[in-house]
Amino acid sequence: MTVVWVLVGIVLMVFGWMLFATLRLYIDTAENQYYVQLKGLMAARIVPSDDFFHIKFRIPFYTFRYNPFEERKPKKETKKKPKKSPSAKKKKKRKTWSTNLDLIKSLLATFKVKHCVIDLDTGNYPLNAKLVPVFTLLNHGPVNMRANFRGKSYLFLEIENRLVRFIKPAFKYLISK
């Protein structure tokens, strides 16, 4: 019986760790680093390669690669189940776009921007000159935007969240159905 309680405790600890672990999106075009990470549990990194790029996944004790440009073998066809008549199907209440957009907005609002640096050159001198005062007005907090005339563009973005922050918007969405 104690073994069962120990296993339940371990599962609850891992679940709690997942809820409170930091989810991080990191983009740095100067260093060519792009990854998503759930600290301590998993990471997915885009790595440049001969076929443009591949994705490297890392979970505890295991690392593997996925090449999205590699040809896959076709799967064997399985027997399809006969479809039920339309009258037998239960009618589901359709969700409107506005409710789905409300959920998306509320989920995006849970993310925190840690750092955002945009250094942009459009290649058009008059447009760059017009962007200078606009970017100056938009610079506040962790956001730093600049227009340059050097022909180089750069993006550094670091966004963090915790999965536990998703619970409140998801709960509100489920209740409003």
- CA separation for the pair 177, 99 (Å, rounded): 9
Instruction: Give 124-177 pLDDT, tens digit per residue.
Output: 889 999 999 999 998 888 999 999 888 889 999 999 999 889 888 888 888 876
**What per-residue confidence (pLDDT) applies to 154?**
92
Q: Is residue 122 part of a domain?
A: yes
**How many domains are there within the chain?**
2
SS3 sequence of the chain: CHHHHHHHHHHHHHHHHHHHCEEEEEEECCCCEEEEEECCCEEEEEEEECCEEEEEEEECCEEEEECCCCCCCCCCCCCCCCCCCHHHCCCCCCCCHHHHHHHHHHHHCCCEEEEEEEEECCCCHHHHHHHHHHHHHHCECCEEEEECCCCCCEEEEEEEEEHHHHHHHHHHHHHCC
Q: Are residues 57 and 104 in the same domain?
A: no
Q: 164: domain range?
A: 96-177
For residue 79, tell me if it sits in a domain. Answer: no
Q: Name the residue among 46, 45, 44, 37 with its Cα closest to residue 18.
A: 37
Query: Does residue 9 sit within a domain?
Result: no
**Of 1, 50, 21, which Cα lies nearest the Cα of 165?**
21
Note whether 106 and 56 are same-domain residues.
no
Any domain includes 127: yes
pLDDT average, residue stretch 33-46: 89
100 and 176 part of one domain: yes
pLDDT value at residue 37: 92
Q: Is residue 116 part of a domain?
A: yes
- 87 domain residue, yes or no: no
pLDDT by residue (tens digit) across 93-129?
Answer: 555 666 678 888 888 999 999 999 999 998 888 999 9
Q: Are residues 64 and 115 in the same domain?
A: no
pTM of the entire predicted model: 0.72
Nearest CA to 107 among 166, 22, 175, 20?
A: 166
Both 114 and 161 in one domain: the answer is: yes
